[in-house]
Structure 1
């Protein structure tokens, strides 16, 4: 791999949810990863996972705000205790991990679909999207975040609404879509059209995530062809049983190296099932 490709690729971290689950924190609705914020003991597990990804060479770690949106927190019955504290706790844990690791790494926040990552039919109306993403964007900004990874987006409409609110709160937005077959969002929309739309809206990067490597690879030439913004990928390595079948760290590293060479990825990492060992192998392969 040539040095120019290596130097322009920023390494992302791996699967937070699968890492927490491996550590014994159950991923069940409505909590999902937010469960890791409920006690000092669980927050230590989350911080340790961030630190492991940093030690493995990640240059970007994503705070555990994936499910700290209004809809999830209200479903968990937290109204009486207030809701925003969980957003600030998640960001604080990631910031503490970055500071303790003493590495030149960046902390970004996660912003997911307000309903379900894999159910585009559940995306609410525009007014609800605007209000719910506004609430989270404001709290992320107050927590000291400057960049938000708007991820696992299954419709162009919600991706644009989330990006609008992130920018209105004074932050930078990276947008990542989840796709099915033929480089199409789960809504059936063309990835090419979705990428053009969010880049026109001011997205600082456009990526694909949480699809298996085969589907992800179909998306990369589309992004490379249509996007004038930096592009990236962080695939899902788990099969339907939650097993990282076939994608051992060296195989994953070879996959990501090939994608960086072939498509000029600016961002490379992993989603569900991607462990610190996978990130360490990718770091070594990319010359980090």
Structure 2
């Protein structure tokens, strides 16, 4: 039976959805500062659903974003709180899972290539790597340009732990920067990430693109979102404006994931609006055909071994 790494679902959106009266550009991080028990509860629900690798609630906690909100001095405390929230969920459930650090876009999601130097971007990612150094694996995710993707890889490789890269594609199949998927994979291949994935785009787009991705990189995967559109956020709006697609039921999403696996994916999970119920259905429906494991159990080389 083939081993497949099973990630959690849309952590930030699930936290934000459950929160009481929190509206902020910092999204789920703002919830964690005011209602940390919500974050622990969401983590625990994903663990109980069957997820084997759980992501820290640090997506919006980049130095750039915290500085913009006047919270940069709290960056260490925020990352420590993210670890505590997940560790409490692990203790409550009694299940051993991988803790995955998050290296997201530094300014906001769904943007093009930033007007910054490689060294400047790498240094900011290096700060995030050190703040999350206690994680088992690193997820570089929602990448829309190769500058941030390469800089995040360079920073993550210094730690010597497995890390993956996930690109976000537009409807035309290209990154927001205009680069093709083949160009994006070629740009980071020399860093030898443990896996290359697609995330935070429509499930149908992941399904259409997975056959190409598995030819571009030996360990591939995907985790899609279920938003109707992300244009409001891409234009600077808050996540409050986003709506979930009612047609992406747990059954419908699992059918898409089954196709990714049939095409050769080795890592699957969910992004925004993919709930614990989606993950539970997926884990149950596919359990007879695949052995779900933690990301670190896929026999992945560490970054230092890739050179």
CA–CA distance in structure 2, aligned partners of residues 175 and 52 of structure 1: 25
In 1, are the aligned partners of 2:9 and 2:274 still within 8 Å (CA)?
Answer: yes
CA–CA distance in structure 2, aligned partners of residues 226 and 27 of structure 1: 41
CA–CA distance in structure 1, aligned partners of residues 189 and 21 of structure 2: 36
Correspondence for 1:278: 278
In 2, are the aligned partners of 1:17 and 1:27 still within 8 Å (CA)?
Answer: no
In 2 relative to 1, CA 163–28 (structure 1 residues): closer, same or farther, beyond 3 Å?
farther
Q: SS at 2:270's partner residue?
A: coil
What RMSD over aligned residues (CA atoms) do the two structures have, in Å?
Answer: 1.7
Correspondence for 2:296: none
Correspondence for 1:137: 129
Say whether 1:149 aligns with 2:131. Answer: no
In 2 relative to 1, CA 130–121 (structure 1 residues): closer, same or farther, beyond 3 Å?
closer
Say whether 1:116 aligns with 2:108. Answer: yes
In 1, are the aligned partners of 2:137 and 2:163 still within 8 Å (CA)?
Answer: yes
In 2 relative to 1, CA 278–188 (structure 1 residues): closer, same or farther, beyond 3 Å?
same
In 1, are the aligned partners of 2:16 and 2:27 still within 8 Å (CA)?
Answer: no
CA–CA distance in structure 2, aligned partners of residues 281 and 130 of structure 1: 38
Q: 1:57 aligns with which of 50, 54, 58?
A: 50
CA drift of 1:109 comes to: 1.1
User: TM-score, structure 1 length as denominator?
Assistant: 0.90
In 2, are the aligned partners of 1:196 and 1:227 still within 8 Å (CA)?
Answer: no
In 2 relative to 1, CA 25–10 (structure 1 residues): closer, same or farther, beyond 3 Å?
farther
CA drift of 1:21 comes to: 2.2
Correspondence for 2:256: 255
CA–CA distance in structure 2, aligned partners of residues 25 and 171 of structure 1: 36
In 1, are the aligned partners of 2:13 and 2:273 still within 8 Å (CA)?
Answer: yes
CA–CA distance in structure 2, aligned partners of residues 96 and 214 of structure 1: 35
CA drift of 1:29 comes to: 4.4
User: TM-score, structure 2 length as denominator?
Assistant: 0.85
Structure 1 portions without partners, runs of 5+: none
Structure 2 portions without partners, runs of 5+: 230-241, 293-307
Say whether 1:237 aligns with 2:226. Answer: yes
In 2 relative to 1, CA 95–72 (structure 1 residues): closer, same or farther, beyond 3 Å?
same
Q: 1:98 aligns with which of 65, 74, 90?
A: 90
Correspondence for 2:295: none
> Size of the alignment, in residue pairs?
276
Correspondence for 1:266: 266
Say whether 1:217 aligns with 2:207. Answer: yes
Deviation sequence 1:149-179 (CA, Å, 0-9, x none):
0000001111010111111133322100000
